[in-house]
Structure 1
Amino acid sequence: MKIRKSTLLFAMLGILLLTATYNGLTVRTYNVTSEKLATNESLRIVLLSDLHSASYGYKQSILIDQVRAQEPDLIALPGDLLDRYRSPDPAFDLIEGLAGIAPMYFVTGNHEIDGSDDYVRHNVKEVFRSHGVTVLEDEWETVTINGIELVIGGLEDPLRGFRESIYTDWDAESTVAMEDIERDDTFKVLLSHRAEKINTYAELPFDLVLSGHAHGGQVRIPYVMNGLFAPDQGFFPKYAGGLYEHETFTHIIGRGFNYSFNIPRIYNPPEIVVIDVNGK
């Protein structure tokens, strides 16, 4: 009887460990409604953040196939597709494979900053542009997607100089272009890597803000703790990942794709974020 109990205990612990450290791709869907869209209008956005040069199949075939299966109208890439300590090839393979599925928009994360030797050598922005990606540099544009007129803006990451940890918050020079956006009935989407910069986003005229950077808090306990630790937020981050409703905007933070045996993801599998925006 004792042997059976110990065997059962080890089996249960094994199952718990496997489920806790599961690193297979998941698809997480959020629904957003807006009075700025007609009741018969809809927009599907796929958000891919914080790849950190992780690989999912040969030339990212697994990840690309899953994105294609979502049939997105728009692909949002809010930074850290590259990792300064890894080869850029997985990120470039992903961008190349996604080309033609839907319009792609990208802003830099802290691993793709200007001024770093790796960033300059790989010429990240130009590689992305060569595959049809719109790279937003503290700017915005008006586009029509799926018959819906949209404003899409992007803030570059405020970190300047990775090795030196030169950090400057966004100032008037960075956000001045956003002040030209009319506060009208056009639905507005902002890409910005930082999950925690809520005060900045609240001052801008966007309806939907898409971010990453927090990595889902790395360790989660479903229904109890949304995240243990996140960059630039520390322990028990307020904005680890998921959908957050604020007074003037909805904020969706992707938990990213990066995984490491040294720093495992616990109950925090890599995720493709699907956002369905529908008229209200």
Structure 2
Amino acid sequence: MTDRDLQGLIERIGADHVARRLAVETEHEAQLFGQGTLLFNVENWQLAPWIVEGALKAAGLYGRARRNADRVELRQNTVTSANLPASFDGFTILQLSDLHADISQGAMQHLTGFVGDIACDICVLTGDYRGKTFGPFDTSLALMTELCTRLKPPLYGILGNHDSIRMTPALEAMGVRMLFNESETIARGNDVIHLAGIDDAHFYRADDIPKAAATIPRDAFSVLLAHTPESYRAAARAGFDLMLSGHTHGGQLCLPGGIAIKLEARLPRRMGAGAWRFERLAGYTATGAGTSLAPVRLNCPAEITLHTLRRSE
């Protein structure tokens, strides 16, 4: 892929944004220390998958963890808001996050087998389509193409910390409207809600929530797609009603009861998986359909999530 392939994106979001993200990809995408919100980026440590798999094998848990990783659950989440227009009561959003398609092929196969049967009003993809944080992405895009043919449009997406901005033209060719600190209006009759999406805030630090919210009326119902929930304070300040995220995998390897051993994010643990609230902002952190580092899961099922919006009085 050449920079010419990004020309349409440059014209839409600006040469500055594209150039800054490409610069991080060129100079820092495999960096272990000092880039992004964490001091040490374990996802960039090449020994990490070997250590994870070795520890599970030593504990006799590897077979179970591998089987768990290949199963994806459909979870239901209801979001209530007095700010929701009446005509959007019952509106559904299907969220897919953290597919890591090339290293999660068992999960992708399972997901592709049933996702086309799920009825929804819109589908959103909250980032991390590639397994590693750097390197080739052709296999991931091929698997994403097959998945997207099964999903019910319209489709909206954002990039995660594992994704290259060079993946964008291919994702948009699949019918995914990728959002880079932008927003879209969704209409039902005479009513509208707003959907915004930000670029990765965890590693690339390319997010701009005020820009994403700039064209959204302050009193309108609005949803923010943010790969990591670490941006929750800024989302609340900007007046968003709902924030849909992933990134944490819910810990992926958890103690009984779903207690994460480690969350690769700077945020309260209660926001590491599932539904949460901060001030007037409702949030949901998906555990993800795929896996990071290695295709293994313990006490933390893979998921896609169907969110139903309900108007409260």
| TM-score when normalising by structure 1 | 0.75
Trace 1:185-196 onto structure 2 (pairs within 5 A): 186-196=220-230
* Residues 140-174 of structure 1: per-residue CA shift (max 9 Å, x gap): 121226986220101101356xxxxxx54746xx6
Distance change in 2, residues 1:130/1:21 (3 Å): closer
Q: Are the equivalent residues in 2 in contact too, given 1:39–1:279 (CA < 8 A)?
A: no
**AA partner of residue 179 (structure 1):** A
In the alignment, structure 1 residue 72 sits paired with structure 2 residue 120: yes
CA distance in 2, matches of 1:44, 1:213: 22
CA distance in 2, matches of 1:203, 1:72: 29
Larger radius of gyration: 1
* Corresponding pairs, count: 247
2:176 to 129, 133, 143: 133
1:220 to 254, 265, 287: 254
Q: Which structure 2 segments of 5+ residues have no match?
A: 1-58
User: What secondary structure sits across from 2:86 in the alignment?
Assistant: coil
* Residues 77-123 of structure 1: per-residue CA shift (max 9 Å, x gap): 11101233564434443344434612111111111144xxxxxxxx3
User: What secondary structure sits across from 1:22 in the alignment?
Assistant: helix
In the alignment, structure 1 residue 259 sits paired with structure 2 residue 291: yes
User: What secondary structure sits across from 1:30 in the alignment?
Assistant: strand
In the alignment, structure 1 residue 110 sits paired with structure 2 residue 161: yes
In the alignment, structure 1 residue 22 sits paired with structure 2 residue 22: no
Range that drifts further, 81-90 or 265-274: 81-90
Trace 1:235-254 onto structure 2 (pairs within 5 A): 237-254=269-286
Distance change in 2, residues 1:221/1:179 (3 Å): same
In the alignment, structure 1 residue 272 sits paired with structure 2 residue 290: no
Distance change in 2, residues 1:146/1:233 (3 Å): farther
In the alignment, structure 1 residue 89 sits paired with structure 2 residue 139: yes
| Backbone CA RMSD of aligned residues | 3.2
Q: Which structure 1 segments of 5+ residues have no match?
A: 1-12, 115-122, 161-166
Q: CA deviation at 1:257?
A: 2.4
Q: Are the equivalent residues in 2 in contact too, given 1:49–1:254 (CA < 8 A)?
A: yes
CA distance in 2, matches of 1:146, 1:256: 33
The answer for the alignment partner of 2:29 in structure 1 is none
The answer for the alignment partner of 1:233 in structure 2 is 266
Distance change in 2, residues 1:232/1:98 (3 Å): same
Q: Are the equivalent residues in 1 in contact too, given 2:66–2:296 (CA < 8 A)?
A: no
**AA partner of residue 154 (structure 2):** P
Q: Are the equivalent residues in 2 in contact too, given 1:138–1:154 (CA < 8 A)?
A: yes
Q: CA deviation at 1:126?
A: 0.6
Q: Are the equivalent residues in 2 in contact too, given 1:113–1:157 (CA < 8 A)?
A: no
User: Percent sequence identity over matched residues?
Assistant: 26
Which of the pair is proportionally richer in helix?
Answer: 2
Q: CA deviation at 1:68?
A: 2.0
CA distance in 1, matches of 2:309, 2:119: 14
| TM-score when normalising by structure 2 | 0.68
Distance change in 2, residues 1:252/1:88 (3 Å): farther
